A = this chain, B = another copy of it.
């Protein structure tokens, strides 16, 4: 198969991410013309796009020297493995997280393997870097990935938290990952979680 055919096949398979639903409830007001207004679950493709916009808008909250183009490439690719593995809530139990991790590794082998070898290994490395969360780029990308659903959940009145029985201590665990990638966004997230508890849309820590 020639390179272009393999690249198009990869792009087509990647497109299936538009059919992977997350746990986040969207409540955007309707847009003009053909807009939709119903509350619905977000899919992983539009989630990835929204994170990329956030990376451009919030770039100055990354540590100095962070390569934002790399952050954006990570965010575009970070959920691609869900085409095969589906989305799992960040609040799922550890055993489910471990099964998910193995499913995502197999998915990465298959999906990046669709591309010509040199290219597939290059894009796979970007995903591996995101997963390892060592570089400033990966830590900032992960911070955005954790911040975005908190912002969405607050706008939706806490519905996703309530339906999963999530309490403030569980959300604050995720806030630590935001602080690790961006102190200023971490401080913001901590304030938002405290306010969500005060407003009664997020249950306080269980004893």
Give me the interface of A with B, judged by CB distance under 8 Å.
3-4, 7-8, 10-12, 14-21, 26, 28-37, 41-43, 45-46, 48-50, 52-54, 56-58, 60-61, 69, 72-73, 76-77, 80, 82-87, 115, 119, 123, 151, 155, 184, 188
Contacts and interface: CB of A to CB of B under 8 A. Distances in A.
A34 B20 contact: yes
Nearest to A10: B57
Contacts of A61: 4
Contacts of A57: 7-8, 10-11, 14, 115, 119, 123
A3 B14 CA distance: 35
A41 to B, nearest CB: 8
A70 to B, nearest CB: 8
A83 B31 contact: yes
Interface SS of A by simple majority: helix
Contacts of A45: 45-46, 49-50
A24 to B, nearest CB: 11
A57 B3 CA distance: 10
A99 B105 CA distance: 48
Given A31-B82, A57-B123, A69-B69, 13 more contacts: A4-B188, A8-B58, A11-B151, A14-B57, A16-B28, A17-B31, A21-B36, A31-B83, A33-B87, A34-B86, A43-B46, A49-B52, A57-B115
Contacts of A18: 26, 28, 42, 46, 50
Contacts of A86: 31-35
Contacts of A21: 34-36
A54 B4 contact: no
